[in-house]
Structure 1
Amino acid sequence: MNAVTGGAGGFLSRFEGLRDRLPGASLERVRALREAGAATLRAKGLPGRRVEEWRYTDLAPVAQAHFTEALTAVGESPALPAARAPNRIVFVDGRLAEHLSQLPPHAAPLAARLEAAQELLAEDGGLPLVGLNAMMFEDGLFLDLPEGADAGTVEVLNLAAHGERPIAFHPRHVIRLAPGAKLTIVETSTGPAGAAYLHNPVYDIRVAEGASFTHVRVQREGRAAFQLSTIRARVAAGGTYDNFTLNAGGRLVRNEIHVVLEGPKAAAHMNGAQLVADGQHADTTTFLDHAAPDCPSRQTVKTVLAGKSRGVFQGKILVRQAAQRTDGYQMNQALLLSEEAEIDAKPQLEIYADDVKCSHGATVGALDPEQLFYLRARGIPAEEARAILVQAFLTEAVEGVTDPIAQAALEEAVSGWWEREAA
């Protein structure tokens, strides 16, 4: 048994001991989803480099970490930053902490609403990490907005509190917007700097006709942590799913997004940035399924790499035969600040319609020495000049985020990054 299969075996053994204690044990559909997830993980193991979608990201460190899952209640309340929005939802080690949260209307802990939410839990689709989540999730967010509701901006904090032993948590978030509903979520994930933990969230998202969901994610996990997230969104006619993800923490991070545009004039934006420092690995993998006509999509992902680091971008756009008049754009750009940094880029287009406008591209470069000279000649110190150019490089990726709360969260994460890494 190799290390990766062994890692899956550890999770499977843990599930065997916990299956009757996990939430929803009495619900037939939940039990079936958990058993199906276990079957997927048992058959495939944790994905390795022989799997094409994982050829650039090695999960052996995850398999070797021997994580455990905790079913105990949250103990002492962790220190919280000042709230950014009137409604804030706090998760500690993957469980919703109601005593630390100000829940908006129509929101609840998933563990308390599993019976109502179970039909919205999507099957794992043969994805081992989704199967692992289905097998082990304890809690998550259940947010079910009614027709025409405007929830405004909701802040979500994901906190890892335990650092004494390697711990894994697998929150499952179920979000549904009825026709015409609107929602903005600004989500931040953080944890202790030296703690080895695994955060494996899965999001099941449904955006109905004419609804709009803006989803801004700031990943600032501890430097010894792993985050392996999977988002699956289905967007109906005239609906919009707008995602921006900033990866700026963690030892090994993979942000995987699957979006299906199911109805005419549905739209998706999947922009992001990755700030990858020495010893870090960041992977953004996306799959966009244009299944209906007249649907636009936009994706710009920028990666900045310092020290001995590695970044990955894999983006696939599928245009089905029925998806005439598709307008799709995808761009990946990387900025290498070190000769030891590495970027792997694999943009893909698969088109079966004949009336489309689609383009994609990838660029890799270093800081422009002439621009550096220009700034230095005006008295700007070298490190500050580099920071200015890095910030300018990221501008295009973040300028589409218009929510002021989201802008503040992104600015805080990006500001000073190069100075900190250069120190």
Structure 2
Amino acid sequence: MSAIATGAEGFLHRFDGLRQRLPGARLAWVQALREAAAESFRAQGFPTRRLEAWKYTDLRLVADAGFEEALSVVDAEFALPPAHSRWRAVFQDGRLREDLSTLEEAPFAAASLAAGLSTLEGRLGALARPAEQALVALNTALFEDGLVVTVPAGVAGGVLELVSLASPGERPAAFHPRHLIRLEAGASLTLIETATGPAGTRYLHNPVYEIELAEGATLTHARLQQEGSAAFQLGTAYARVAAGATYDNFTLNAGGKLVRNEIHVVLEGPKAACHMNGAQLLRDGQHADTTTVLDHAAPDCASRQTYKTVLSGRSRGVFQGKIHVHQVAQRTDGYQMNQALLLSPEAEIDSKPQLEIYADDVKCSHGATVGEIDADQLFYLRARGIPEAQARSMLVEAFLTEAVEGVQDAVAREALQAAVTGWWEKAA
């Protein structure tokens, strides 16, 4: 096995060498899951721009990087993000760091996936589709750990933090955490994720989330992606939302060199709801892609999507959003909006909103706008003695406020707002 093997074959060689060392090696069902995923990845390879879903995002930088799996935890000092809760799960290079985590006496069950694999047959892989998505296949073949969360029926779980840290190092490393979140009937939880890493260190963070919300459950899922400047993050989330349940997702992309955030949500019970909002704050040289697929598969469901992108320098943003309304999904109420603010003539945004409707009684709309900072508003602030950098920062922050204010949970909203405040002044 070559340490510098690249492309799909490089990852497949590492899988061949690691299969007996990966968690669950003695569990037949886990091995079968990994083997099938490896074969799917072998057949698909890395997605290319010839695929419609990847038309605007080129993964050649990732495929050619020659990543190695992080086989041991590097002994490094970390500055943990500010705490938003007493309950926190900290992962380093995709593995749970129990010494940095605080999960005792929580009103929910939260534990290492690797430690509890023998109890997860039928749950692990229930929502993910590795046969259709190459990066999910790669994760399924090579995952080493993740967080398994279960909130019992009727329990208000409060706030849980999930922190992902990447180790500094000269050799590019890849890690593929698998997170399973289940809320039973009437339960609630706020999950705040933060992903960070050292500037200049090249690594691949390829997480997959499988989220199940039972009848009447509510999950607020806030994701702060603040990876290192040379990092790649390619995340895929699946959520299944039962009758009367609500999935409230907000993703802030502010770090990384190349990032793709892909979300698949199925509203499978009447009066289920989904809010998928987000912001992308891109500096020179960054590429961020948000792709959403929302299936309205039951009647009387509502969905709202508002994504905003701010681009400076030679950066590129992508938004692809598809709403699929099945024939049974009468009285669907779906809304989707993507807005971009260009701060540089060299910045680029690609927007592709889609509606696919097979029901008759629906209220669905989508739209996209692209513009620059309003010169009159900038002049108004400058005329009142506000320096240009601060004035631009105020206008950028105001542009983003609508998306952030859509987050219902106050703790999550404050964490996101803190990351947005003053971004332009820091980026300028």
TM-score (norm. length: structure 2): 0.96
Deviation at 1:78, TM superposition (A): 2.4
Match in the other structure for 1:284: 290
Counterpart check, 1:220 vs 2:226: yes
Deviation at 1:348, TM superposition (A): 0.1
Q: Is the 8 A contact 2:73 2:92 kept in 1?
A: no
| Residue 238 of structure 2, aligned match among 229, 232, 237 | 232
Amino acid at match of 1:418: W
Task: Give CA deviations for 1:317-362 in whole Å, capped at 9, x if unaligned.
Answer: 0000000000000000000000000000000000000000000000
CA distance in 2, matches of 1:175, 1:276: 29
Counterpart check, 1:17 vs 2:17: yes
Q: Is the 8 A contact 1:117 1:142 kept in 2?
A: no
Match in the other structure for 2:199: 193
CA distance in 2, matches of 1:71, 1:382: 48
Task: Give CA deviations for 1:3-39 in whole Å, capped at 9, x if unaligned.
Answer: xx95111101100000111001122221122112111
Task: Give CA deviations for 1:148-183 in whole Å, capped at 9, x if unaligned.
Answer: 121101111111123221000000001111111111
CA distance in 2, matches of 1:405, 1:221: 22
CA distance in 1, matches of 2:112, 2:312: 39
Alignment of 1:205-216 (within 5 A): 205-216=211-222
Counterpart check, 1:58 vs 2:58: yes
Counterpart check, 1:70 vs 2:73: no
| Residue 147 of structure 2, aligned match among 141, 151, 154 | 141
Q: Is the 8 A contact 1:309 1:342 kept in 2?
A: yes
Match in the other structure for 2:47: 47
Q: Is the 8 A contact 1:85 1:155 kept in 2?
A: yes
SS at match of 2:114: helix
Deviation at 1:387, TM superposition (A): 0.7
| Residue 273 of structure 1, aligned match among 274, 279, 290 | 279
SS at match of 2:15: helix
| Residue 202 of structure 1, aligned match among 197, 201, 208 | 208
SS at match of 1:12: helix
Alignment of 1:236-315 (within 5 A): 236-315=242-321
Match in the other structure for 2:424: 418
Structure 1 stretch 410-419 or stretch 289-298: which is displaced more? 410-419
Task: Give CA deviations for 1:270-317 in whole Å, capped at 9, x if unaligned.
Answer: 000000110000000000000000000000000000000000000000
Task: Give CA deviations for 1:229-284 in whole Å, capped at 9, x if unaligned.
Answer: 00000011111111000000000000000000011111111000000110000000
Deviation at 1:83, TM superposition (A): 2.1
Q: Is the 8 A contact 1:266 1:296 kept in 2?
A: yes
| Residue 119 of structure 1, aligned match among 119, 122, 125 | 122
SS at match of 2:293: strand
Task: Give CA deviations for 1:101-123 in whole Å, capped at 9, x if unaligned.
Answer: 01134110000111212311224
CA distance in 2, matches of 1:199, 1:226: 6
Structure 1 stretch 32-41 or stretch 115-124: which is displaced more? 115-124
Deviation at 1:379, TM superposition (A): 1.1
Match in the other structure for 2:384: 378
Task: Give CA deviations for 1:73-103 in whole Å, capped at 9, x if unaligned.
Answer: 4534523234221101101111011111011
CA distance in 2, matches of 1:244, 1:317: 17
Deviation at 1:367, TM superposition (A): 0.5
CA distance in 2, matches of 1:316, 1:341: 24
Amino acid at match of 2:47: P
Q: Is the 8 A contact 1:331 1:360 kept in 2?
A: yes
| Residue 110 of structure 2, aligned match among 87, 107, 112 | 107
Amino acid at match of 1:116: T
Deviation at 1:376, TM superposition (A): 1.0
Amino acid at match of 2:300: D
Structure 1 stretch 142-151 or stretch 47-56: which is displaced more? 142-151
SS at match of 2:122: helix
Match in the other structure for 1:35: 35
Q: Is the 8 A contact 2:353 2:368 kept in 1?
A: yes
Q: Which runs of 4+ in 1 moved over 4 A?
A: none
Q: Is the 8 A contact 2:330 2:362 kept in 1?
A: yes
Counterpart check, 1:343 vs 2:343: no
Stretches of structure 2 lacking an aligned partner (at least 5 in a row): none
Counterpart check, 1:400 vs 2:403: no
Structure 1 stretch 163-172 or stretch 130-139: which is displaced more? 163-172
Match in the other structure for 2:160: 154
CA distance in 2, matches of 1:169, 1:248: 20
CA distance in 2, matches of 1:111, 1:139: 5
Deviation at 1:191, TM superposition (A): 0.3
| Residue 177 of structure 1, aligned match among 174, 183, 189 | 183
Q: Is the 8 A contact 1:117 1:174 kept in 2?
A: no
SS at match of 1:292: coil
CA distance in 1, matches of 2:311, 2:358: 36
Q: Is the 8 A contact 2:248 2:407 kept in 1?
A: no
TM-score (norm. length: structure 1): 0.97
Deviation at 1:125, TM superposition (A): 4.1
RMSD: 1.2
CA distance in 1, matches of 2:82, 2:317: 32
CA distance in 2, matches of 1:176, 1:198: 26
Amino acid at match of 2:320: Q
